[in-house]
Amino acid sequence: MILNQIGEMALGSRLRMLSEVVTQDAQQIYELYEVELKPKWFPVFYVLSQGHSAKSITEIANEINHSHPSVIKIVREMSRSGLVDEKKDEADGRKNNIYLTPKGVEISIRIKDQYLDVNAAVQKALKQTKHNIWLAMQEFEYLLEEKSLYLRVQEERKIRESANIQIVEYESRFRSDFKKLNEEWITAYFKLEQADSIALDNPEGYILDKGGAILIALDKNEVLGVCALLKMNDENYDYELAKMAVSPMAKGKGIGSLLGKVIVDKARSLGASNIYLESNTILKPAISLYEKLGFKKVAGHPTPYERCNIQMELKLN
């Protein structure tokens, strides 16, 4: 079977196939016991049959973990088959409660023998397997609640793509890229200020010659990100993390995170005890990155930038 060749990435397709097989058997089992139910109705039917109490669409949806539209559709189908009806809630006339009709109640009594036989059959089948699929499903559902498959795939993509990224020291050939990437993000949110121009027009003289550093993120020969450490003449801080920029074409590749980690390591190698930075809270992804790197909010340091509304520090010792 082709799905065996595809492997685990065909998980969704494999589960749908298994679901179709079990659903076909379930329909035949209902017919065997002369129970007028459809497999997709069962969760709603079971909830309503417990104590035969009326429940709202919201209550049913929450109990079976279905969407409101899905429950409404099932209830309408069951209503047409004479299994359920609805009535206004006595405490809240705007809400309708769903309950089993006498026909539905009668089925809930007759289906008990079916429950016993189906449960016994499933238990015996599970005992014949090396891996209990029911327990595995519970465990996998728990893992997906913690972190969705979508987020897990995003992480793997970042890992794969970042494996091709090189972080190198600044060279004069990167001067135009350093300026271009920074001007792009600054002008997208703010305006260029004099302090920007001084650093971007002469990164060698303003940053490197004063004891700072600039790192470049490369994919082959394409510059995808830049970041700088500015040596500070300050009794509280050794270096300022500044001029971090990532190409819009490289968003989502984890380059900012990679640059941040390497620039912090660079500061350590230069003997830094702490790092300072300035930013703006409108830049939520950047602030989140700094927090993940361990930066904490501080205040009171003089700044040359109008756009600065948050200051942060990272203590390395």
pLDDT value at residue 153: 84
CATH number given to 165-315 = 3.40.630.30
pLDDT bin (cut points 50, 70, 90) of residue 93 is low
pLDDT at 161 over 90: no
pLDDT at 1: 64
In the chain, domain spans: 2-153, 165-315
How would you list the strands of the sheet with 274-279, edge to edge?
A: 165-169, 213-219, 222-231, 239-246, 274-279, 310-315, 296-298
Higher-scoring residue by pLDDT: 39, 10: 39
How many residues in the chain? 317
Q: Does residue 18 register a pLDDT over 90?
A: no
CA dihedral 132, 134, 136, 142 (to 10 degrees): -160
Across residues 279-284, what is the average pLDDT? Answer: 95
Share of the chain above pLDDT 90, in %: 71
pLDDT value of position 77: 95
pLDDT tens per residue, range 101-139? 999 999 999 999 999 999 999 999 989 988 888 898 899
Residue 10 CB neighbour total at 10 angstroms: 16
* Least confident segment among 69-83, 87-101, 137-151, 300-314: 87-101
Q: Cα–Cα–Cα angle for 195, 196, 199, nearest 5°?
A: 90
* Mean pLDDT within 176-180: 96
Q: Where are the beta strands (DSSP E) in the chain?
A: 55-56, 84-88, 96-100, 165-169, 213-219, 222-231, 239-246, 274-279, 296-298, 310-315
Q: Provide the CB-side half-sphere exposure for 165 (13 A, CA).
A: 24
Kindly calculate the radius of gyration of the chain based on its CA atoms and give it in whole angstroms. Answer: 31
3-state helix, strand, coil in the chain (%, to 5): 55, 20, 25
Contacts (Cβ under 8 Å, ≥6 apart) of 183: 192, 196, 200
Q: What is the mean pLDDT of the chain?
A: 91
Q: What is the pLDDT of residues 197-246, one digit of tens each?
A: 999 999 999 999 999 999 999 988 899 999 999 999 888 899 999 999 99
| Residue 52 pLDDT level (bands cut at 50, 70, 90) | confident
What is the phi/psi pair of residue 101, to 5°?
-80, 170
Q: Residue 3's pLDDT is what?
A: 62
Q: Considering only residues 125 and 164, tell me which one the structure prediction assigns the higher pLDDT.
A: 125
Chosen CATH of 2-153 out of 3.40.50.11540, 1.10.10.10, 2.40.160.40, 1.20.1730.10: 1.10.10.10
Q: What is the pLDDT of residue 134?
A: 87
Neighbours of 203 (CB within 10 A): 23
Q: What are the helix (H) ranges across 81-193?
A: 102-110, 112-127, 133-146, 149-162, 175-189
Minimal CA–CA distance to 234: which of 300, 307, 148, 168?
300
Distances (CA, A) of 259 to 167, 207, 215, 241, 277: 7, 17, 8, 11, 15
The single residue listed with the structure tokens 């998980």 is: 11
pLDDT at 108: 93
Distance between CA atoms of 250 and 183, rounded to whole angstroms? 16
CA-based nearest residue to 255, from 226, 275, 279, 284? 226
Rounded percentage of the chain residues whose pLDDT exceeds 70: 98
pLDDT one-digit tens code per residue, 186-198: 999 999 999 999 9
